[in-house]
């Protein structure tokens, strides 16, 4: 790009900014009322390379793959989730994938599930498409809905029907750390961690306003604004906002149900108090109003009925959450510093639904019994993570160490009511029946949990090629439960020590073979027949693999072979029906491949393949020796996008992806099979001066497929096509 043309375009953008900012004072307020990081590797927009505080001539000569978050590149080189430091991914002896904001924008994702469905070892939408926004996913064969969610390094606790949600438009990137991860994060299931990183203020913030329409009545308006709040740039701000309406995917015969509405607002601010100290305040508000996830009745041999068992006049899902936190970092010198992350958050849920047993429960006349439930739930939490980090030499080795003390206090309240509801005839369904508000209280309790963890992490460099990763953690968990339906208050205490060890050899060629061992633990509630408390479940994993990153940073390739075992799994007590014992065990073995590569300057390619052998290796039930429900043996995906040469006066980018999910079992004894499916996605983007126009499609050929046959028919996502117009200035 010539200097003169760049300067002219920059001048045009500056004029456009003045015009649009005036209109946005009113527009953004109407939008809201109508309804970053230390290891930066990528940005939220492909246009950011045109905006910089550096001279234009310096920017035009840079390779996007070499830049940090201000590049728009899609191949991340560093990560914060694996070690809570700005560690190079190729030197990290664990399986890790990063989905950047640029990649999310190209694919047009509107949920975290959609963002990570091209990640190896991850199965999303295990119960089909969900209008509520629930994140149904598994990692390496384990369901991590309630323990894998992290935002800005801090856990987002979940329980029962209640779980925090994150809007991808407000995220800088998503990092998926596969395998046991308790050393850095405390209690969690064996599968791994999905770490979200919020967008943060930047001095060279590109302003974005966009509008979107699409199938299922989709309408969306969003804005991402920010920059300097004062002349010297010591105070930065950013505001991300979004409102979206759409119709539910699954319709009741002859009945139009309520629409899904989503409102998101996330202001943030950074204060650079000095060269040594910075403070960033992060906040968000999210409101979701939707229907519930309805089950379609299944007849003999998984025969679809086309009849949903819910009741659209009664079913509702109202979710509201907010969070406010900060990140403070202070340098103690050239090599040492302290950091504190904290957040206070609250989530509330009011949900009501009608349901019936979704598989072969109808009588000879077609009648199915139904029940009505309402649940009022709330979760508040306070999370703090204190870190001392530094670099030092010790003899022949160089160290990058972190010592941390974190604390999490969560309080969960739930009130559940249930009663009989009018039945439904599968042969002649009639909706709109009057549903009485359920009055029989089935659950009424408060549960408070406190977790304190002390951890140590050291990344040791020996000579030029060897990297040794050592981690150790001690956790103490206390859980108190006040059940109003049972007298007294129960208190449970758990503690665990977890370890991890990894070794990497980084060759001059960029090839890095590695081996690692990791552990996890997760507290479990309840007691056995003798009244003894259940111990935490434990995860242990052995992994070997190899990574390769070219010196120009244009790609990252990895292959991993893992053996993961989860023990202390609850299983039926054969001597005392209705009770459990902790003799269960699940083993997950597999191999994962991932390639992300920028070929030349115009072509980006992403390939993933997973073979995962998961088996119940200890159990007193009939599932012994079987594969757990909804876990496929094979997963594969590929995405490619290409920047065409100049088309007209703008630039055209086309992309296409394909996803394959192998067959799964829909019952614990492996007699019912959910068939495999293959889906195609596509995108077209056209950049014209300050405007960007895009069309993104998922399930392009509108393939009808089951999300699962487990407990009924949960349909997969239908074809969606969204059209977007975005103004960047």
- Looking up residue 241, the CATH number of its domain turns out to be 2.40.170.20
258 and 312 Cβ atoms separated by less than 8 Å: yes
> With 50 as the cut, is the pLDDT of residue 296 above it?
yes
Quick: pLDDT tens for 247-269: 988 888 777 777 899 999 999 99
Contact call for residues 337 and 390 (beta carbons, < 8 A): yes
From residue 718, give the alpha-carbon distance in Å to each of 596, 636, 698: 27, 20, 8
Tokens for 125?
């939408």
Residue from 248, 280, 276, 279 nearest 262 by CA:
248
Mean pLDDT is lowest, of 137-146, 337-346, 455-464, 687-696, for 137-146
Q: Which alpha helices (DSSP H) does 34-147 contain, by range?
A: 56-60, 101-107, 112-116
pLDDT band (50, 70, 90) for residue 134: confident
The strand order across the sheet containing 137-139 reads 122-124, 137-139, 142-143
Rg (CA), the chain: 26
H/E stretch holding 112: helix 112-116
For residue 525, give every residue at least 6 positions away whose Cβ sits within 8 Å of its Cβ, in sequence order, or none: 479, 481, 492, 534
Map 143-191 to HEC letters. ECCCCCEEECCEECCCECCECCCCCHHHEEEEEEEECCCHHHHCCCCCC
Q: How far apart are CA 405 and CA 699, in angstroms?
A: 45
Is the pLDDT score of 193 beyond 90?
yes
Candidates 245, 270, 240; CA nearest to 260 is: 245
Look at 14 and 421; give whichever has higher pLDDT: 421
pLDDT of residue 252: 82
Whether 22 has a pLDDT exceeding 80, the answer reads no
Q: How many CB atoms lie within 10 A of CB 235?
A: 15
What does the pLDDT average to over 86-107? 93
What is the DSSP secondary structure assignment for residue 233, as one 8-state letter? S
Lowest mean pLDDT among 68-72, 89-93, 144-148, 533-537: 68-72
Q: What is the per-residue pLDDT for 646?
A: 80
> SS3 string of 493-556?
EEEEEEEEEEEEECCCCCEEEEEEEEEEEECCCCECCCCCECCCEEEEEEEEEEEECCCCCCEE
Q: Tokens representing 521?
A: 């633990």
More confident residue, 600 or 328: 328
- The pLDDT of residue 25 is 39
Distance CA 602, CA 587 (A): 42
Domain that holds residue 250: 3-728
Mapping DSSP onto H, E and C, the string for 560-601 reads EEEEEEEEEEEEECCCCCCCEEEEEEEEEEEEEEEEEEEECC
DSSP summary character for residue 630? T
DSSP assignment, residue 60? H
Q: How many CB atoms lie within 10 A of CB 262?
A: 22
Instruction: With cut-offs at 50, 70 and 90, classify the pLDDT of residue 72.
Output: low
Rounded distance, CA 524 to CA 526, Å?
7
| Number of other residues whose CB lies within 10 A of the CB of residue 607 | 17
Instruction: Kindly report the pTM of this predicted structure.
Output: 0.87
Mean pLDDT, range 490-510, rounded to an integer:
93
Determine the average pLDDT of the residues in 90-107. Answer: 94
Residue 648: the pLDDT is 78
Write out pLDDT tens, residues 224-241: 999 999 988 899 999 999
Percent of the chain topping pLDDT 70: 90
Structure tokens at 463: 């000579």
pLDDT at 49: 36
Question: In Å, how far from its chain's centre is CA 503?
Answer: 28
Q: Give pLDDT, residue 255.
A: 73
Using DSSP's 3-state secondary structure scheme, residue 293 falls into coil
C-alpha to C-alpha distances, 715 to 113, 203, 236, 307, 574, nearest whole angstrom: 16, 45, 45, 12, 36
**How many Cβ atoms are within 10 Å of 588's Cβ, its own excluded?**
26
Convert the pLDDT of each residue in 654-693 to its tens digit.
999 999 999 999 999 999 999 999 999 999 999 999 999 9
Read off the pLDDT of each residue in 285-293 and give the average, rounded to a whole number: 93
Residues in the chain, how many? 729
- Contact (CB, 8 A) for 473 and 454: yes
> What is the per-residue pLDDT for 53?
37
Four-CA torsion 40, 45, 49, 53, nearest 10 degrees: -70
- HSE, side-chain direction, 13 A CA sphere, residue 84: 31
Count how many domains the chain has: 1
Write down the pLDDT at residue 2: 38
Q: Give the tens place of pLDDT for each residue, 615-633.
A: 999 998 889 999 999 999 9
Share of the chain above pLDDT 90, in %: 69
533 pLDDT band (50/70/90 cuts)? confident
Cα(33)–Cα(181) distance, integer angstroms: 40
Cα 143 to Cα 140, 535, 562, 651, distances in angstroms: 9, 19, 18, 42
């Amino acid at each position: 790009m010539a200097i003169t043309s760049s300067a002219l375009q920059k001048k045009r953008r500056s004029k456009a900014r003045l015009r649009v900012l005036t209109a946005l004072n009113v527009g953004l307020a109407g939008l809201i009322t109508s309804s970053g990081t230390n290891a930066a590797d990528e940005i939220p927009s492909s246009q950011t390379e045109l905006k910089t505080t550096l001279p234009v001539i310096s920017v035009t000569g840079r390779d996007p793959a070499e830049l940090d978050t201000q590049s728009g590149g899609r191949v991340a080189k560093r990560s914060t989730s694996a070690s809570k430091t700005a560690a190079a991914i190729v030197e990290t002896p664990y399986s890790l994938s990063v989905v950047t904001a640029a990649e999310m924008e190209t694919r047009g994702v509107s949920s975290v599930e959609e963002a990570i469905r091209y990640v190896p070892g991850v199965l999303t939408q295990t119960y089909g498409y969900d209008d509520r926004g629930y994140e149904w996913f598994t990692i390496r064969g384990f369901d991590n809905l309630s323990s894998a969610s992290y935002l800005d390094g801090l856990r987002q606790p979940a329980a029962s029907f209640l779980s925090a949600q994150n809007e991808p438009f407000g995220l800088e990137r998503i990092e998926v750390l596969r395998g046991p991860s308790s050393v850095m994060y405390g209690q969690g299931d064996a599968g791994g961690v999905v770490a979200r990183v919020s967008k943060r203020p930047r001095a060279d913030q590109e302003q974005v306003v966009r509008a979107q329409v699409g199938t299922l009545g989709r309408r969306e308006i969003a804005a991402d604004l920010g920059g300097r709040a004062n002349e010297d740039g010591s105070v930065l701000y950013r505001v991300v906002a979004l409102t979206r309406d759409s119709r539910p995917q699954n319709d009741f015969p002859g009945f139009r149900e309520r629409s899904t509405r989503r409102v998101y607002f996330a202001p943030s601010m950074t204060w650079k108090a000095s060269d040594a100290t910075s403070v960033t305040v992060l906040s968000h508000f999210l409101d979701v109003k939707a229907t519930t996830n309805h089950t379609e009745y299944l007849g003999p041999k998984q025969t679809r009925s086309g009849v949903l068992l819910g009741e659209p006049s009664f079913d509702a899902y109202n979710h509201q959450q907010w969070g406010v936190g900060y990140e403070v970092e202070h340098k103690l010198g050239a090599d040492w510093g302290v950091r504190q992350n904290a957040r206070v958050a609250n989530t509330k849920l009011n949900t009501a639904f009608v349901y019936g047993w979704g598989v072969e429960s109808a009588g000879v006349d077609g009648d199915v019994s139904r029940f009505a439930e309402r649940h009022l739930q709330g979760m508040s939490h306070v999370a703090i993570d204190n870190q001392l980090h530094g670099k030092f030499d010790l003899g022949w080795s160089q160290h990058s160490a972190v010592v941390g003390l974190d604390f999490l206090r969560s309080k969960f309240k739930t009130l559940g009511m249930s009663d009989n509801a009018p039945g439904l005839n599968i042969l002649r369904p009639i909706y709109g029946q009057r549903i009485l508000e359920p009055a029989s209280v089935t659950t009424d309790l408060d549960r408070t949990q406190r977790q304190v963890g002390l951890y140590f992490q050291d990344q040791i460099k020996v000579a030029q090629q060897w990297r040794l990763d050592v981690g150790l953690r001690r956790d103490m968990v206390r859980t108190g439960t006040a059940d109003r339906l049972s007298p007294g208050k129960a208190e449970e205490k758990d503690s665990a020590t977890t370890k991890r060890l990894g070794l990497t050899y980084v060759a001059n060629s960029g090839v890095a073979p590695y081996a690692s061992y990791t552990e996890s633990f997760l507290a479990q509630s309840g007691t056995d027949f003798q009244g003894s408390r259940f111990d935490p479940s434990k995860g242990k994993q052995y992994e070997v693999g190899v990574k390769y990153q070219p010196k120009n940073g244009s790609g990252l390739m990895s292959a991993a072979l893992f053996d993961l075992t989860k023990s202390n799994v609850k299983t039926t007590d054969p001597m005392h029906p209705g009770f459990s014992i902790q003799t269960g065990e699940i083993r997950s073995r597999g191999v994962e491949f991932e390639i992300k590569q920028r070929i030349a300057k115009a072509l980006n390619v992403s390939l993933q393949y997973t073979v995962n052998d998961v088996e119940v290796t200890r159990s007193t039930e009939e599932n012994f020796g079987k594969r757990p429900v909804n876990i496929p043996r094979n997963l594969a995906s590929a995405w490619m996008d290409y920047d065409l040469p100049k088309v007209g006066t703008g630039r055209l980018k086309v992309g296409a992806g394909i996803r394959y999910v192998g067959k799964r079992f829909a019952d614990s004894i492996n007699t019912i099979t959910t068939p495999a499916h293959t889906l195609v996605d596509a995108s077209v983007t056209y950049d014209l001066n300050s405007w960007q126009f895009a069309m993104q499609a998922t399930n392009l050929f509108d393939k009808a497929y089951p999300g699962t046959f487990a407990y009924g028919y949960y349909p997969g996502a239908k074809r969606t096509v969204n059209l977007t117009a975005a103004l960047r200035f």
